[in-house]
Structure 1
Amino acid sequence: MKAIVYDKYGPPDVLELKEIEKPIPEDNQVLVKVYASSVNYGNLVLLKGEPFLARLFFGPIKPKYSIPGGDIAGLVEAVGRNVKQFQPGDEVFGDLSGCGWGGFAEYVSVPENVLAPKPSHLSFEEAAAVPMAAVTALQSLRNKGRVKSEQKVLIYGASGGVGTFAVQIAKAFGAEVTGVCSTRNVEIIRSIGADHAIDYTKEDFSKKADVYDLIIGANGYQPISVYKRALSPNGIFVHVGGSGTQMFQAMVLGPWISMTGKKKIGSFLQRPNQKDLFFIRELLETGKIKPVIDRQYQLSEIQEAFRYFENGHAQGKVVITM
């Protein structure tokens, strides 16, 4: 089978398309023929080994996992004898980041608890755009941000992969949502349900009179002090993505700010969870959320896909087709 492999950290050029052995599922595994995958921020961390702290998990000198790729959507080809949830012919989607990655390949063998049935109305490409970004948005809003109905929620970086799902999921929870993005993305975030859109090239959200019960930092370079000023007296800021400086401030200054006042500031790391993936599937099935896809690339174009993604201006998700 064909797969994208690499043996050292670096730019997209280190990714190579090679022919390798097709995996054989173990007793508790599902063999999936992959039709599509997608690129996430975690893939970029895995590729570059940056920030350096990530190498504690991915390998200090060279990558621990030779085949990157977290999100997949495909068809079950075979199952191990202990598998209960799936059978050959089932259409599935899932996030492999908690079980060794490997999604940029024509086949993967994975535990059944990282998969869910693919929503029937979605294409494989659409389904592959969902798992990691949507679950990240859900967990940051619900688990860390404790989002509630009628709260005022700001999504900074609303037009990216996590941001587009965060806007829609916050609306599904009944929040009043404001999205911050660039000029070219204003109509996109309005089209997916944002109540208000702020074009950061024309106005500074922190200089407006509005304050927010919850702010999700999905992208951007703002100092933590800027977000703090925009929070309501008991507001919460959750750092999900953005600059290294922003992440460092959220991790180091956030706990101190949280302990010394009513406003809470913290960082968040997504954890794959089948129950949450099923929750996302229900939101997809009922039409409350939908994936936004910017570009699609063939597996052989993986280097170009990563170069585009790392520029940080993707409108929604970048999808890889097999």
Structure 2
Amino acid sequence: MRAATYRQFGPPEVVRIEETPKPAPRPGEVLIKVHASTLSAADRRARSRSVPKGLQVLAALALGIFRPRTRVLGMDVAGVVEAVGPGVSAFTPGDEVVAMLGARFGGHAEYVSVPQDGAITSKPRNMGFEQAVTLVFGGLTAHGFLTRAAIRPGGTVLVNGASGAVGTAAVQLAKHLGARVTAVCSDANRDLVTSLGAERVIDYATEDFTAGTQTYDVIMDCVGNATFERVESSINRCGALLLVIADLRAILLASGRSRRSGKLVTAGNIKYTAEDLAFLVSLAEAGQYQAVIDRTYELSDIVEAHRFVDAGRKRGNVVIRVAAGAIKR
């Protein structure tokens, strides 16, 4: 099978298309013929091993010390079940599915095996593969962090970095919960985040959202620059700071800051589940979740896709089309 592989850490050019063995599903696994995946900021960090301050050693242990432990990136997939291993009863060949691979990676290939009890569920019936895969990485990450906070109808949520994969998902999910959403992004993305449900937009280039008197029940940081010291006074009493991107110091101090301030400060990994993914699928099928795609690249153009993500200006998701004919059904 074709796969986008990398054998050393570095710039986009370390990734190349190779022929690799097609996996066979083991007991309890589902083999997926991949139609689409995304290329996320997490893939970029894994490829370059560029991580927030203090996490370099942990990243080396997880990703590989001298060379990549896993040669195929891609944290999510949308595709068709090709075969199932012994003991699989939840899926059958021909099922259209979406799945989160997480730190196992492997989505930038024509086939990948996924445990049937992992984060895998049926694809939205009203979306094609390329649209459906956008629910997975961004949607699950945003949902996982937002569920850590008590968001009530009429509550106020600020999303810092609202135009990326996680940010566009967070705006939609917070709006679904009944929150009044403020989006921080560039002015060029104002119309996008407004269409997703943001009531107010702050252009980070001209305004510091912490400089005024406005406060919020929840601040969700998808950029990595909303430190607790910077935003504490902008969080309401008993509010929350959700650090999607955080350095080691912020992670280690989170629980202590929560106790001392009475404001929830949370960072670190989230758990990806089939139940959460099915929830996102249900929202999409109800017309309450939009796929946000900036660009779509063929698998053969994977290096160019990495270059684009490296630029740090993508809107929503960058989709990798793996199988030919990945069209809406």
Normalising by structure 1, we get a TM-score of: 0.94
- Runs (4+) off by over 6 Å: none
What do residues 223-245 of structure 1 show as CA deviations (whole Å, max 9, x unaligned)? 4322112111221101103xxxx
Q: Secondary structure at the match of 2:207?
A: coil
Residue 81 of structure 1: CA displacement? 2.8
**SS of match in other structure, 2:10:** coil
Q: Does residue 172 of the first structure (1) align with residue 180 of the second (2)?
A: no
Q: C-alpha distance in 2, partners of 1:130/1:195?
A: 22
**Deviation for aligned residue 1:209:** 1.7
Question: Is the 8 Å Cα contact of residues 160 and 316 (structure 1) preserved in structure 2?
Answer: yes
Asked if 1:137 corresponds to 2:142, the answer is: yes
Contact 1:250 1:265 in 2 (8 A): no
- Report what 1:261 is aligned to: 261
Q: What residue in structure 1 maps to residue 78 of structure 2? A: 73
**Residue correspondence of structure 1 range 276-315 to structure 2 within 5 A:** 276-315=276-315
Q: Which residue of 2 aligns with 1:24?
A: 24
How much does 1:147 deviate? 2.2
Whole-Å Cα distance in 2 between the matches of residues 65 and 230 of structure 1? 41
1:3 deviates by: 0.3
- 2:67 aligned residue: 62
User: Which SS does the other structure have where 1:129 is aligned?
Assistant: helix
Secondary structure, in 3 states, of the residue corresponding to 1:228? Answer: helix
Which deviates further from its counterpart, 154-163 or 281-290?
281-290
CA deviation string 1:236-256 (max 9, x = no partner): 101103xxxx53452244333
Provide the C-alpha distance between the structure 2 equivalents of 1:176 and 1:222, rounded to a whole number of angstroms. Answer: 19
Q: How does 1:230-245 map to 2 (within 5 A)?
A: 230-241=234-245
CA deviations 1:251-286 (Å, max 9, x no partner) are: 244333222222232313232211111111111111
Which residue number corresponds to residue 37 of structure 2? Answer: 37
Task: Please tell me the residue identity of whatever aligns with 1:240.
Answer: V
- What corresponds to 1:121 in structure 2? 126
Secondary structure at the counterpart of residue 175 of structure 2: helix
Separation of aligned partners in 1, 2:240 and 2:260 = 14
Contact persistence 1:10–1:48 (CA under 8 A):
yes
Equivalent pair of 2:82/2:94 in contact (CA under 8 Å): yes
The one-letter amino acid paired with 1:218 is C
Cα offset, 1:50, TM superposition: 2.9
TM-score normalised by length of structure 2? 0.92
Provide the secondary structure at the position in 2 that maps to 1:47: helix
Tell me what 2:327 maps to. Answer: none
* Secondary structure at 1:171 match in 2: helix
Q: 1:108 aligns with which of 108, 112, 124?
A: 112
> Contact 2:158–2:182 at 8 Å: present in 1 too?
yes
- 1:6 alignment counterpart: 6
Deviation at 1:44, TM superposition (A): 1.8
Aligned partner of residue 210 in structure 2, secondary structure:
helix
Deviation at 1:220, TM superposition (A): 4.7
Give me the whole-angstrom Cα distance separating, in 1, the residues matched to 2:39 and 2:273: 19
Q: Tell me, in whole angstroms, the C-alpha distance in 1 between the residues paired with 2:226 and 2:150.
A: 22
Q: For residues 199 and 278 of structure 2, what CA distance do their matches in structure 1 show?
A: 27
Q: Residue 135 of structure 2 contacts residue 281 of structure 2 at CA under 8 Å; is this kept in 1?
A: no
Sequence identity (%): 38
Q: Secondary structure at the residue paired with 1:133?
A: helix
Q: Give the 5 Å matches for 1:188-199.
A: 188-199=192-203
Distance 2:31 2:213 in 1: 54
| Contact 1:247–1:267 (CA under 8 A) maintained in structure 2 | no
Distance 2:60 2:274 in 1: 26
Structure 2 CA distance for aligned equivalents of residues 261 and 225 of structure 1: 11
How many residues are matched? 316
Alpha-carbon separation, structure 2, partners of 1:46 and 1:186: 30
Maintained 8 Å contact 2:134/2:293:
yes
Whether the 8 Å CA contact 2:35–2:321 is kept in 1: the answer is yes
Secondary structure of 2:130's aligned partner = helix
Note closer, same or farther for the CA distance 1:188–1:220 as it changes in structure 2 (3 Å cut).
Answer: farther
Which residue identity does 1:25 align to in structure 2? P
- Shift of residue 213, structure 1, vs aligned partner: 0.6
Task: Mark the runs of 5 or more structure 1 residues left unpaired by the alignment.
Answer: none
Q: Which residue of 2 aligns with 1:147?
A: 151
Matched residues in 1 for 2:185 and 2:269: separation?
Answer: 22
Quote how far apart the aligned CAs of 1:127 are.
1.1
What is the CA-CA distance between 1:117 and the residue it aligns to?
Answer: 0.4
SS at match of 1:259: helix
